[in-house]
Amino acid sequence: MKNYLLPIVCILLFVASVAGQDITRLEKIGDVASVSRNDNSVVLNCSDNSQIRITLLAPDLIRVRASFSKQLPNRDHSWAIDKTSWPTPRWNIVETASSVSIKTDAVEVVVRRSPLLIEFRDAKTGAVINADQQPLAYDAKGLLKSMMFDPDVGVFVAASKKLGFDEHFYGLGEKASRLDKRRSSFINWNSDTPGYVEGRDPIYQTVPFYLGLENGAAYGIFFDNSFKSYFDFGKSSQQRVWFGAEGGEMNYYFFYGPQLPKILSRYADLTGRMPLPPMWALGNQQSRWSYYPEAMVDEVVRQYRQRDLPLDVVHLDIDYMQGYRVFTWNQNRFPNPKEMITRLAQQGVKIVTIVDPGVKHQPTEASASRDPLTSQEQSYYVFNEGIARNYFQKRKDGRLFVPRVWPGESVFVDYTLPDARRWWGDLHRAYTDFGVAGIWMDMNEPADFVDQSGKNQIDVVSNDEGDNSTHAKNRNVFALLMARATYEGLERLQPDKRPYVITRAAYAGVQRYATMWTGDTNSTWDGLSLSIPMFQSLGLSGQPFVGSDVGGFMGRGNGELLTRSYQVSFLAPFCRNHKTIDGYDQEPWRFGKHYEDIIRKYLKLRYELMPFLYTTLETAHRTGAPLFRPLVFNYQDDSNTYNLDDQFMVGDDLLVAPILSPGITSRLVYLPRGPWYDYWTNKKYSGGTMIRVDAPLETVPMFVRGGAIIPKGPPMNFIGEKPAAPSFVIFPDAQGKSQFSLYEDDGVSPAYKEGLYRRTRVQASETSQDINITVDAPQGSFKTPNRILSFLISTRLLPRQVVLDGRTLSKAGQDGSGWQKSGDTLTVRIVDDGKPHSVNAK
């Protein structure tokens, strides 16, 4: 019962506080009094001494920064921004008596002088994309002070935009809400919210970035402000969208598409790209709070292997440590981590350890051994070092800040200090020395058992690049900086390996350092259903590597729920079954063979689709396009997709419509313009319509886009078990054409950044007379050993001959090449020697 009441109370409190914020009563910025310009920006000096700087970063990226009743400060710092210097785009400015027009090749910013209203238009068509509903405003009279987290620190700032009659809203990071955020409002204040349900807000992360879509044209707004922030998409008023924060600057970036992928790509330019994690991060993962001792870990792995279930990673939750002391190991439970990890490695299994920010508060004079296996009961090296170096957070009055978390009384590192970040990163040798492969960061909202609202931390000071600011500003970036410390530490400790970091809390930009999971979900059908819009929204907010505890974290699941849950997560980037300490066991076999057999089918399919998933992951790294995405990302001209969040796409080519309630064995599926092919039966649909399909427990409805070529690999128990030998399954579009560019690299090292990858474009075209397949010369310097590439196409054609590079291909060549027609499927095998090839079958 407890679990249910808490969220309800919170929702009520939340509704009350937002209603209390009538932003129309705030002081509006003055009129434009004068205009000055420099190389890439325009400064509007206002009648009330306020200033607005409009900076043209790219044709489609405009920054708006304002200060109220004072000059813009020189200090301009953000933890989120990755790229600060941009080549000046072509632009011009035209001033009239009533307005100022600033125009790039893509966007025209029209500023009305009085009242000061900013409008963004499409530079080519003149169409208004986004317009102020009232001038930028601030709380000059302190009207909102009573509801603010720290009224002594900030002044509320707000921007308001006209709400389009048919405008849809996406993004905003991790929110327990549906895909389209229209007529909803949200707060950003990183919070530990176990057992959250739909509507609970805020939860763990803050990504103050949203997308608007109306009349087929999309834009984005990133309000880069780490204070407690508010977004209202037409909830408090039908006229208005507004966003604001309890301090800091009015500072936002406007992105113009009109296509969503272009906005996501620009957002990745600005806030950074997700580096490629190791390929095995896409492998199946298993966790539990907590697996110990060592023999238990061995047993889990043994079960996996014996049951022929693929597995790449086992996670160790907080009980591997000595009394929850981070960077230590409990010697009774894990007497020899290195030996255990080596043993598991022989079975293809990697270990990821959890790390919390709370360092046990353990003042002692004695010096402690830095050996993470030596008892730290008398004296704890992490605490001692952090104290000696003055890296822990303090209150304003100079006292050490002592929150309570898992170790009991604890301290937190001031991650805004570069030296402290370096120290924290280097501490991870306690794991990497033993072969730990990745770090799972928890509790970094930061949670504090004394008081989860943050009040206990209100006067905690962070260095913040010399700003010495307090919690009101720093809470939401705490996890981002912890992730940075961890990622950079792993990079230094293991320069030849890609870091793998998972985080619970975050701020915008976190994708540069960490992947994420959605925290403490419920083992319920509602929880499962909610995971889809959450993954989709995260993907639209610059975080492409996402996942949820498969089966749900809290409560008691069942075989059907677990199976359906795998039918969602088998294509999520992060696929990890995890369960709370007192929850019912839910490893894939726990509900009996019937369910286990179905789960096995999906885990195996995930591994077979690995070449496709990995290629899609690399696309996300390079372009910001998420793997797990809503249909609107690819079909934004199709209004049927605008609030579709019970089905999803993976990359451009797979569409999945999972079952999200018990006892259901068929469902409606919307297929956008086609053709589409049923993955299981190959049945062809023309698309642009709703279909009903069967979905017995063993089948998740899944479709392939006509025009795709899906690369598949051999079945594997773990990533890298077998050499890649891609087989390409061809799904022609309406013109009979299809194509794919397969991405490959060594899967583990950062050498891909230096061009050590291989990109192989394959194309196919089918007519009633013949089939042509081409393999282009690969790009990149990664070499694969000679191997067989297979092409599979379902076709009526019964070829009399197949020609490879102008020569007849025998049915079974000695080098493994050949072709065959069996049933409807034509299979052609060619030797991949890294050269271009062409095949004609007729």
Q: How many Cα atoms within 13 Å fall on the side-chain side of residue 34?
A: 3
Which is the catalytic residue, given 60, 119, 180, 445?
A: 445
Residue with tokens 């604001």: 244
Distance separating alpha carbons of residues 620 and 24, to the nearest angstrom: 40
Q: Considering beta carbons, is residue 171 or 547 the nearer one to ligand MIG? A: 547
Nearer to ligand MIG, 321 or 411 (CB): 321
Identity of the residue, 176 or 709, whose beta carbon is nearer to ligand MIG in the bound complex: 176
Cβ neighbour number for residue 394 with a 10 Å cutoff: 16
CB of 359 to ligand MIG, least distance (A): 15
Interstrand relation of 576-577 and 757-766 (parallel, antiparallel or unpaired): unpaired
- Residue 820 beta carbon to ligand MIG: minimum distance, rounded to whole angstroms: 49
Q: How far is the CB of 577 from ligand MIG (least distance, A)?
A: 12
Q: Interface with ligand MIG by CB under 6 A: which residues?
A: 289, 317-318, 354, 442-443, 504, 519-520, 578
Position with the least CB separation from ligand MIG: 289
Nearest approach, Cβ of residue 554 and ligand MIG (Å) = 10
DSSP string of 78-115? Answer: -SS------PPPPEEEEE-SSEEEEEESSEEEEEETTT
Least distance CB 549 / ligand MIG (angstroms): 7
User: Whose Cβ is closer to ligand MIG: residue 229's or residue 444's?
Assistant: 444
Residue 307 exposed, middle or buried by CB count within 10 Å (0-12, 13-18, 19+): middle
Residue 768 tokens, joined: 């009633």
Is the bond leading into 658 cis (omega within 30 degrees of zero)?
no
Structure tokens given for 44: 């509007």
Strands 576-577 and 285-286: parallel
Q: Which residue shows structure tokens 């870990």?
A: 297
Residue from 744, 285, 249 nearest 517 by CA: 285
Of 218 and 441, nearer to ligand MIG (C-beta) is: 441
Nearer to ligand MIG, 158 or 354 (CB): 354
By beta-carbon proximity to ligand MIG, the closer residue of 232 and 442 is: 442
Q: Which is nearer to ligand MIG, 161 or 578 (CB)?
A: 578
Active-site residue, from 27, 174, 246, 442: 442
Q: Whose Cβ is closer to ligand MIG: residue 55's or residue 580's? A: 580
Coil, strand or helix at 738:
strand
Q: Is there a catalytic annotation at residue 833? A: no
Taking the complex as a whole, how short is the minimal distance between the CB of residue 527 and ligand MIG, in angstroms? 14
Selection from 171, 176, 10, 296 nearest residue 548 by Cα: 176
The enclosing H or E element of 386 equals helix 381-388
442 is catalytic: yes
Task: Please state the closest distance from residue 556 (CB atom) to ligand MIG, in A.
Answer: 16
The answer to whether the beta carbons of residues 711 and 740 sit under 8 Å apart is: yes
User: Do residues 78 and 65 lie in contact, with contact meaning Cβ atoms separated by under 8 Å?
Assistant: no
Catalytic residue among 520, 560, 587, 646: 520
Q: Could you tell me the two tokens for 756?
A: 């050590």
> Measured from the CB atom, is 161 or 504 closer to ligand MIG?
504
CB of 194 to ligand MIG, least distance (A): 7
Least distance to ligand MIG, CB of residue 317, Å:
5
Q: Which phi and psi angles does 540 have, rounded to 5°?
A: -80, 5
Among 157, 156, 133, 148, residue whose Cα is nearest residue 234: 133
Q: To the nearest 5 percent, what fractions of the chain are helix, strand and coil?
A: 20, 30, 50
Q: How far is the CB of 756 from ligand MIG (least distance, A)?
A: 35
Give me 428's structure tokens: 């991870």
Question: How many other C-beta atoms can be found within 10 angstroms of the C-beta atom of residue 77?
Answer: 11
Give the three-class secondary structure for 55. strand
Residue whose C-alpha is closest to residue 325's, from 255, 468, 430, 229: 430
Annotation marks residue 520 as catalytic:
yes
Residue 716 and residue 747: Cα distance in Å, rounded? 15
Cα 255 from chain centre = 19
Dist. CA 620–CA 265, nearest whole Å: 9
Record the tokens describing residue 264, joined without a space: 């996501």
Active-site residue numbers? Answer: 442, 445, 520
